Structure 1
Amino acid sequence: MRTNRAWLGLTLLMLPTLLVAMDMTALILALPHLSADLGASAVQQLWISDSYGLMVAGMVITMGTLGDRIGRRRLLLTGASAFAVLSVVAAFSVNPLMLIVVRALLGIAGATLAPSTLALITNMFHDDRSRGRAIAIWATCQFTGGAVGPVLAGFLLQHFWWGSVFLAAVPAMVLLAVAGRFVLPEFRGSRAGRLDPASVGLSLAAVLLMVYGIKQLTVAHAVAVPVATLAIGAGLGVVFVRRQLRLPAPLLDLRLFRSRPFTAVLIALVFAGLAMAGVGLLVTQYLQGVLGHGPMAAAILFAPMGLGVAVGTMTAPTLTRRMKQPTAIAGGLALSAVGGLLLTVVHGAGTLPILMIAIAVLAFGAGPLFALGTGLVIGSVSPERAGSAASMSETGNYFGGSLGLGLLGAAAAVVYRAHAHGTSDSLAAALAASSRQGATQASATLDTARAAFTASLHVTGLVAAVIFAALSVVVFVMRPAESRSQSQPESQSQSQSQSQSQPESQPEPQPEEPARTSTETAVPEPVAASH
């Protein structure tokens, strides 16, 4: 009975995970439509796109720890309700400023979802195999949603107005808010203390400034302001770290980094996100700017990347039956390196199949890292700190994506300018210039720009291959320590979970002795229902 309820709860958690991921990527396709309708300037468009992600990145640490302290189900259902209401408000925004503010508030609500969902999965599934499969399904929903998002947006925008893109997530959030109270168990730490406002402010300011600085490096002509923003953010980050090391109940438990598997996998998650974001940026521009496909066609041609990660995450638990987890992760990363190398031979429309195979292979190889690696991060800690660990994983993903867009985007721009020989600063500028030129001159301009951008894609693929190969080595070197106690971090923490914490859905009473030493308690149903 308890197992059936756990899988029913996972089914419920899959819906918002899938649709929120779709909502995030769908906005990219909807942006031109809503900008034209609302009269958004270029700067306002940037903030409409970035305000959500910035607030998620800045608040996910706070929300992960807050869920551990006040109750993970309580926080999740509150966030889902807020997300549904704010999505409706966003759909009917009347000016750019209103949409920017609502998107930022949506980011705060969105920051409650991923860490709470991951922490609840940890508590709902007590054996390693079921928990690993559940986390793989969760990761699959994220990446499948990201791949399907632009396609859904294309369909909605063809039949409805741009606000329908925001409304797509509302039904799932309403269902979660209503049914979650009856299906999902509640967990919170019995020693939950108050949040430290100074730590919350420091973490928010540090993450916002650093992520914003990285993003601005990709679009700003002058680097002084982005570099200064990064420096201030890094300085605040140092202050935050020192404060966490002094506090008896820190917002973020940095002692988790004493675990080699935890640290190595978290580093791999960051840099894999960096490589995939950089490749994604270049490939989508290549499909549209070089090969000339429209947004809808480009979204479909780019879908193998998201679907590749989805398939990789789903097959990861099966791999662990034949090999150890670090071996599966390292092997997958090596395969991703091959995908990166395939991008270096892409040239023109004739090699489009190679491009699609390359991004599919690169993404498929990363699947075991996102599925098994996330499980290792969550399983390396005791159950009452699962939300904090989940927030670290999510923050790492956001940092990796932002770094990929910033660093690999900047590197690609340098390569482009070197091969364009001063004819244009970017592919977009070359396309705009060609529309004002005669046929012969326009053809020459486009040929040069497309060749230069293809060179940028080749360099990006090579850099991604190097990153994945290096990560494969790092994880493989970690293997001896992991192999001596395969799955021990997870099994030990899970045995602690079974002896220290029982979900409210547990039909049979448990011995009282472990409960008296628990650092986490299950909330009785009448108490949870009153929230």
Structure 2
Amino acid sequence: MATTASIPVQETDGPRVGARGWWALIVLMLPVLLVSVDNTVLSFALPEISLALSPSGAEQLWIIDVYPLVLAGLLVTMGTLGDRFGRRRMLLIGATGFAAVSALAAFAPTALTLIAARALLGFFGAMLMPSTLSLLRSIFTNRDQRRMAIAVWASAFSAGSALGPIVGGFLLEHFWWGSVFLIAVPVLIPLLICAPLLVPESRDPNPGRIDPISILLSMAAMIPVVYAIKSFAVDGPTWAGGAWAALGIAMGALFVRRQLRADIPMLDMTLFRRGTFSGAILVNLLSVVALVGFLYYVSQHLQLVLGLTPMVAGFALVPGMVAMIVSGLAIVPVSRRVSPHILIPAALMFSVLGYLLVAFTSGSIAALVLSFVSLGIGIGAAETISNELILASAPPEKAGAASAVSETAYELGAVLGTAILGGIITAFYRGALVLPEGLDAAATEAARETLAGAYTVSHDLSEPLATQVWDAATAAFGSGVGVTSMIGAGLVVLAAVIAATTLKTRTRS
């Protein structure tokens, strides 16, 4: 069927690529697999890290969130630098640094050291992700082939998320927690060898001058906003959190103003006037919030509440990850004939159903597996279509900047998923927790911080006090699941509404 676009995306098709292009795609999937494996592995390694390093509740959240925080602050800068100096060059620099810092993170002696290593991983990761997506834009100029390439690229996130718990679970059962970070080394070595041979260099032929003020403003806009979100999640509404949010918004306004006045801006703000671009960015953001928020809950529930080992818990998530991959690939031929403003809302209804299953079931393994399968169907389809629309809406020479905006939405969504949905569960947990008498002040404080903290405390106590603490903690953790799931479902519905109203593009019959 054909629909009329209010703001059409670029439909010009280039020549089709041969086998070399698809081999280049395989190489570019390696850093995507790595980043998704790293994120999932860390969630599953959190109980082991809690036992080994004894982080506070704030440190535990920082271990998870400092990576996407730094990443989100630098993605636009690194994407623009890739447009200027070469996207393949940025990819190789980022891969080298990521592998080296991963080895350092594996042997972090304290929680603060691990947080610092994760921050450095965010710095080098910011060079990886925009480069992979923008290089796909330059390699696959034929739109049909690009749709399939982006579907494969997006499925690499899902494949890595599925592979991460299994590989990570095996490592956690046989080695220490730091072994999960060493996965980066064997993954990135083939990239460093094959990328110069298979992936062509690409850059903006008219990049303009480097604007240090815009670089600083972009970082000064993203980092305070993300920090404020984290502050609200941990401490609730505070003057300090509000001040950080106001600072980030003010810096963002200055950044936008500077870009609009520049002859050759660091980020072309006119892209956001296109409904397909801005709408697809918002769909990306909300979809990732829903996905990461779900994984934050389910990874802890499977291991800590249901008592599964990390590897078994990882296998429990595989059906959902497979559903995400299959839906992302299967949607490609359909998207040639059906407008995204119909396809994405229809797909996201499966994700709404997944959250409702969590809200109204008992939290058994079968219920969680089924709910994640349903969630994955919607997220997989929505991510494939929205990422392709983002690239198709931007000029080829600005592919790095457009990819960086897409990745910024992804990483900001990861922070929001943990901060908002994870913060709500944590707030309900603290409000409902009733600890037995007999605990000292330090144990009481640790148990009240997080479920993982209560898990650590219960392992240090003798019976029957250990069982009493753990029973109280699991009951309190479950008290906020229903409300949090309904909020997650509401965010997915909002993404569907945005898609229905902004993504009306022309499609070929």
TM-score (norm 1): 0.82
Structure 1: distance between partners of 2:167 and 2:96: 23
C-alpha distance 97-358 of structure 1, shift in aligned 2 (>3 A): closer
The residue that corresponds to 1:470 in the other structure is 494
Q: 1:373 aligns with which of 371, 386, 389?
A: 386
Structure 1: distance between partners of 2:454 and 2:44: 22
Q: Report the 3-state secondary structure (helix = DSSP H, G, I; strand = E; otherwise coil) of the residue aligned with 1:166.
A: helix
The residue that corresponds to 1:124 in the other structure is 139
C-alpha distance 243-461 of structure 1, shift in aligned 2 (>3 A): same
The residue that corresponds to 1:258 in the other structure is 273
Q: Report the 3-state secondary structure (helix = DSSP H, G, I; strand = E; otherwise coil) of the residue aligned with 1:187.
A: coil
Q: 2:158 aligns with which of 139, 143, 166?
A: 143
Q: Which deviates more from structure 2 when the two are superposed, residues 372-381 or residues 430-439? A: 430-439
- CA shift, 1:107, in A, is 1.5
Structure 2: distance between partners of 1:105 and 1:419: 37
- CA shift, 1:86, in A, is 2.6
The residue that corresponds to 1:66 in the other structure is 81
C-alpha distance 330-69 of structure 1, shift in aligned 2 (>3 A): same
The residue that corresponds to 2:507 in the other structure is 486
Structure 1: distance between partners of 2:323 and 2:188: 27
Q: 2:213 aligns with which of 176, 179, 198?
A: 198
Structure 2: distance between partners of 1:276 and 1:98: 28
Question: Within the alignment, does 1:210 sit opposite 2:225 as a pair?
Answer: yes
The residue that corresponds to 2:478 in the other structure is 454
Question: Within the alignment, does 1:302 sit opposite 2:317 as a pair?
Answer: yes
Structure 2: distance between partners of 1:446 and 1:34: 19
The residue that corresponds to 1:153 in the other structure is 168
Q: Report the 3-state secondary structure (helix = DSSP H, G, I; strand = E; otherwise coil) of the residue aligned with 1:249.
A: coil
Question: Within the alignment, does 1:323 sit opposite 2:338 as a pair?
Answer: yes
Q: For residue 345 of structure 2, what is the amino acid of its counterpart? A: A
C-alpha distance 23-409 of structure 1, shift in aligned 2 (>3 A): closer
C-alpha distance 487-220 of structure 1, shift in aligned 2 (>3 A): farther
Ranges in structure 1 where 5+ consecutive residues have no aligned partner: 489-531
Is the contact between residue 78 and residue 177 of structure 1 (CA under 8 Å) also seen in structure 2?
Answer: no
Structure 2: distance between partners of 1:421 and 1:50: 28
Question: Within the alignment, does 1:169 sit opposite 2:219 as a pair?
Answer: no
Q: What is the percentage of aligned positions where both structures have the same residue?
A: 38
Q: Which deviates more from structure 2 when the two are superposed, residues 155-164 or residues 87-96? A: 87-96
C-alpha distance 52-74 of structure 1, shift in aligned 2 (>3 A): same
Q: 2:42 aligns with which of 27, 36, 43?
A: 27
Q: Report the 3-state secondary structure (helix = DSSP H, G, I; strand = E; otherwise coil) of the residue aligned with 2:129.
A: helix
Per-residue CA shift, 1:102-146, capped at 9, x if unaligned?
332221111111111111111111211110110011111112212
Question: Within the alignment, does 1:109 sit opposite 2:136 as a pair?
Answer: no
Q: Report the 3-state secondary structure (helix = DSSP H, G, I; strand = E; otherwise coil) of the residue aligned with 1:185.
A: coil
The residue that corresponds to 2:260 in the other structure is 245
Structure 1: distance between partners of 2:182 and 2:164: 13
C-alpha distance 426-88 of structure 1, shift in aligned 2 (>3 A): closer
Per-residue CA shift, 1:290-311, capped at 9, x if unaligned?
3333444333323444333222
The residue that corresponds to 1:520 in the other structure is none
- CA shift, 1:442, in A, is 5.7
The residue that corresponds to 2:11 in the other structure is none
Is the contact between residue 279 and residue 460 of structure 1 (CA under 8 Å) also seen in structure 2?
Answer: no
Is the contact between residue 269 and residue 397 of structure 1 (CA under 8 Å) also seen in structure 2?
Answer: yes
Per-residue CA shift, 1:29-53, capped at 9, x if unaligned?
4455567667866665554443322
Greater Rg by CA = 1
C-alpha distance 161-451 of structure 1, shift in aligned 2 (>3 A): closer
The residue that corresponds to 2:422 in the other structure is 409
The residue that corresponds to 2:19 in the other structure is 4
- CA shift, 1:101, in A, is 3.5
Q: For residue 269 of structure 1, what is the amino acid of its counterpart? A: N
Q: Which deviates more from structure 2 when the two are superposed, residues 158-167 or residues 142-151? A: 158-167
C-alpha distance 215-302 of structure 1, shift in aligned 2 (>3 A): farther
- CA shift, 1:6, in A, is 0.5
Question: Within the alignment, does 1:386 sit opposite 2:386 as a pair?
Answer: no
Q: Report the 3-state secondary structure (helix = DSSP H, G, I; strand = E; otherwise coil) of the residue aligned with 1:8.
A: helix
Question: Within the alignment, does 1:81 sit opposite 2:96 as a pair?
Answer: yes
Structure 2: distance between partners of 1:341 and 1:47: 29
Question: Within the alignment, does 1:293 sit opposite 2:308 as a pair?
Answer: yes
Ranges in structure 2 where 5+ consecutive residues have no aligned partner: 1-15, 437-446
Per-residue CA shift, 1:35-79, capped at 9, x if unaligned?
766786666555444332222111111011111111111211222
- CA shift, 1:486, in A, is 2.2
Question: Within the alignment, does 1:277 sit opposite 2:321 as a pair?
Answer: no
Q: For residue 342 of structure 1, what is the amino acid of its counterpart? A: L
